Chain A
Amino acid sequence: MNELSWFAILSTIAVVLAIAIGVIGPAIAMGRAISSALDAIARQPEAEKSIMRTLFIGLAMIESLAIYVLVIGLIVLFRNPLLEHLLG
């Protein structure tokens, strides 16, 4: 096995692990946010509109953490800056 195939294997493993581990945190956070929003709506149904609005914004904020992981993963897979070092 030459260096390049090691590079491919290792970066693939790294990206898979990064996505798998990196999604755990946002998943827990989203679950907690949704459950407490449902609690609040059950307690105060008349406040549903503002709760839903805040919930959506919060979910977007949390989701962007997972999106960062994805973007980093895509950079490592498709546009790895270290690859130039290896080839050139």
Chain B
Amino acid sequence: MNLDASVLLEFGPLQITDTVVTTWGLMLALVLLARLLTRNLSAKPDRLQALSEGIVSLIEDAIVQVLPDHSKQVLPLVATLWIFLVCANLIGLIPGVHSPTRDLSATTALALLVFFSVHWFGIRNLGLKAYLKHYLSPSPLLLPFHIIGEITRTLALAVRLFGNMMSLEMAALLILLVAGLLAPIPLLMLHIIEALVQAYIFGMLTLIYIAGSLQSQRQTGSTTPPSAGDDPAPPKPPNKEHHHE
């Protein structure tokens, strides 16, 4: 039973593990798929376009419920995370392929991405000064706790996804060792549910953390006017996904 990802290639100190290969393959496949699906969009959607529009509007609805004001802004990040994580968690079901999220390095990378994007969205919408001020908000004494909170929640994000995916894979492997062929199938069904739930939770927590960093705008909104840069430009063409409604 190996905890580490297996190393496929080695360039000096740089090791290319199967996690990297799977992740890049998945990214390539998703980009090609997105390209293919959006190549000729029409006002009268065919079946594939309707399906992809359904997925996008489902995600959009979920985001609007949490963050109504900035949903356009965070949609690309959160939707990409959701789609990527669903594929990445489920790809482990294919025999011979390990899901990339069972590697702590991959989940740490994703958690770091979330960590930085939370600050980025916060600074972009509030301005650096107002954003940094919310760390001192009730009293400057709480600054260390804010910082500890930032670090631990990022760590928790990485470890939660990694622990769930790896423990399920390991449990299936143990059942296989104990009971034999076909016995782990009920467990694999649980794996499917858990993969979907974990992907949902990762994206949802990202959304909530971003919402939290933007929340201070509402509290300080009375003293400092919200920056005008965050409003999407009104004369934009209407969204493609509303054409069929």
Contacts and interface: CB of A to CB of B under 8 A. Distances in A.
Interface string A43-75: 000000110010011001101100110110010
Given A56-B201, A56-B204, A57-B205, A67 B160 contact: yes
Interface residues of A, number: 16
B122 to A, nearest CB: 20
A79 B2 CA distance: 11
**Residue from A50, A60, A61, A79 whose CB has the most chain B CB atoms within 10 Å:** A60
Contacts of A78: 1, 3
A53 B3 contact: no
Contacts of B3: 74, 78-79
A67 B163 contact: yes
Nearest to A71: B163
Nearest to A56: B201
Given A60-B160, A79-B3, A70 B201 contact: no
A12 B201 CA distance: 32
Given A67-B164, A70-B167, A78-B3, A57 B159 contact: no
**Binding site secondary structure of chain B:** helix
A26 to B, nearest CB: 12
B167 A57 contact: no
A27 to B, nearest CB: 16
Given A74-B3, A78-B3, A63 B160 contact: yes
Given A67-B167, A74-B3, A57 B201 contact: yes
B163 A57 contact: no
A49 B65 CA distance: 10
Given A56-B200, A74-B3, A78-B3, A68 B159 contact: yes
A78 B167 CA distance: 14
B159 A60 contact: no
8 contacts: A50-B65, A53-B65, A53-B204, A56-B197, A60-B160, A60-B197, A71-B162, A74-B166
Would you list the 3 A-B pairs with minimal beta carbon distance, nearest first?
A67-B163, A64-B160, A60-B201
